[in-house]
A and B are shown apart, each in its own frame.
Chain A
Amino acid sequence: MIRVELPYHLRLLAHVDGEVQLDVENPITQRSVLDALENRYPMLRGTIRDQVTKERRAFLRFFACERDLSLELPDSPLPASVASGAEPFLVIGAIAGG
């Protein structure tokens, strides 16, 4: 089970209180996790990635295991501890602004 932590506003949109847990088929990558997230919560389509290009929105970052994975290729494997469910995959809003 893959664990995903969403920022406050996206939790509101998806009507979830805490962490999201997703069944994701291998390989466990940014793309496969976000595809699964958007299929389970279609209201999040376009809020994390562009609807068409699937590029990460400019003011969002992806963290896991105390690393910034934002610039990793979308099909690169995520860390094993994310794939095993030991660690969450974090979607983070950039801090600047308010």
Chain B
Amino acid sequence: MSRVRVLVGTRKGAFILTADGKRQRWEVSEPLFAGWELYHLKGSPVDPNRIYASQTSGWFGQIIQRSNDGGKTWEQPGTPPGEPTTTPDGMPMGESNKFVYDTSPKTGAPLTTHQFYDGTQHPWEFKRVWHLEPSLTDPDTVYAGVEDAAIFRSTDGGKNWNELAGLRGHPTGSQWQPGAGGMGLHTILLDPTDPKRIYIAISAAGVFRTDDGGKTWKPINTGLKSQYIPDPNAEVGHCVHRIAMHSARPNVLFMQKHWDVMRSDDAGESWHEVSGNLPTDFGFPIEVHAHEPNTVYVVPIKNDSEHFVPEGKLRVYRSRTGGNEWEPLTKGLPQSNCYVNVLRDAMAVDSLDSCGVYFGTSGGQVYASTDSGDNWNAIVRDLPPVVSVEVQTLP
């Protein structure tokens, strides 16, 4: 029987939730990396036992962790537990924490500046990894979206990281600006039909696409309107919160922007709004059903000043028409006195026949639905604030 493994990153550690395919009885792990912020954990699609994790701390900086056994044991790539940490000639083996912008004239881009909160120009400074996206074909290849916004790639299982500097070096870089949570590259979508095509999203720059494996990047924000930038229709500067695609239809993208839920039917070349009858079109996550490319989920949040669900009711909204027509999903979710948020990477779906939908809240609850969102149950209620949720469907 199939199994499900839910990888949960929180403000104070990571947790692994496991169940069989019925998804009724869950085991919750002890905290992993307790006391650290776990921005994201994600498993390789080709080797589910290979999981990457971003462990960060304001005190100690960025750590990359890797598991080769489904999360039972972890190591910093390059320095497995119990093995020498230096080569025979004394050189260090562990390099996995090293994220350095590539400023070399041959392979990189000069360390330019971006727009800071106060409107002045500010140099790029690496802070943390927001998102890890393992390759669809190679368990040793993984992409990292970082703050300040850039994309890195490792081809040796997370030991060494190299920036794909064409993105940071894009001529519009000086107009990018941080969102309230920092200038993070938070979404990486790999096109399953074209290994050279990658989409990324940055708060607050917008969406970019490469069609040459990351050498050059193109802003694809036509149709977005943002009243908080001087030119609401600008090429860049939009606070895109997340984008999502269905693997069977990679040219169709869905977006939750700071305000507005958007859709593109041409690989991001143009966007149109599909907020429709949502009670508010502000929010963070957006996700697509595993088997129905036109079924989309969002969690509306009251507004950009009050980051909690409206009216004290936790409601997931589902569209089965690819947007515009939305229905609230409430069964099993608190419908009074609830004031939680759901962050951009804290929603995911499994690929079992009856699609499971999962999300985690700022209140530490992780909710699961085994029937595409019709009914919900809390797997666990009292974790630290949840930052990310990913799901692995295992044989």
Contacts and interface: CB of A to CB of B under 8 A. Distances in A.
Interface of A: 7-10, 13, 15, 38-43, 45-48, 51-52, 57, 59-60, 93-94, 97
Interface string B338-363: 00000000000000000000000000
B59 A46 contact: no
Nearest to A38: B92
Interface centre among A7, A9, A43, by most B CB within 10 Å? A43
B59 A42 contact: no
Contacts of B61: 46-47, 57
A43 B74 CA distance: 13
Contacts of A9: 35-36, 57, 59-60
Given A8-B35, A42-B85, A47-B61, 17 more contacts: A7-B59, A9-B36, A13-B76, A39-B86, A42-B79, A42-B86, A42-B93, A42-B95, A45-B94, A47-B60, A47-B63, A57-B59, A60-B59, A60-B60, A93-B59, A93-B60, A94-B59
Which bucket holds chain B's interface residue count? 20 to 34
Nearest to B86: A39
B249 interface: no
A15 to B, nearest CB: 6
B181 interface: no
Contacts of B230: none
Contact of A42 (B62, B63, B92): B92
Nearest to A13: B63
15 contacts: A8-B35, A9-B36, A13-B63, A38-B92, A42-B92, A43-B79, A43-B94, A45-B92, A46-B62, A46-B97, A46-B98, A47-B60, A47-B97, A51-B97, A59-B59
Interface string B34-73: 0110000000000000000000011111110000000000
Nearest to A14: B85
Contacts of B62: 46
Q: Chain A binding site: helix, strand, loop or mixed by DSSP?
A: loop
Contacts, number: 64
A43 B97 contact: yes
> Nearest 9 CB-CB pairs, A to B?
A42-B92, A42-B94, A47-B60, A46-B97, A59-B59, A43-B94, A43-B76, A93-B59, A43-B79
B163 to A, nearest CB: 13
A80 B76 CA distance: 35
Contacts of B79: 42-43
B89 to A, nearest CB: 11
A41 to B, nearest CB: 6
B100 interface: yes
B90 interface: yes
A52 B98 CA distance: 9
Contacts of B81: 15
A52 B59 contact: no
B78 interface: yes
A13 B64 CA distance: 11
Contacts of B93: 42
A97 B36 CA distance: 12
Contacts of B78: 42
Contact of A52 (B35, B85, B96, B100): B100
A48 B59 CA distance: 8
Nearest to A93: B59
Contacts of A93: 59-60
Contacts of B58: 59, 97
Contacts of A39: 86, 90, 92
Nearest to B62: A46
Nearest to B93: A42
B271 to A, nearest CB: 38
Interface string B83-127: 001100010111111111000000000000000000000000000
Interface in B100-159: 100
Contacts of B96: 43
B196 to A, nearest CB: 30
B10 to A, nearest CB: 14
A41 B385 CA distance: 31
A13 B62 CA distance: 12
A57 B128 CA distance: 14
Nearest to B96: A43
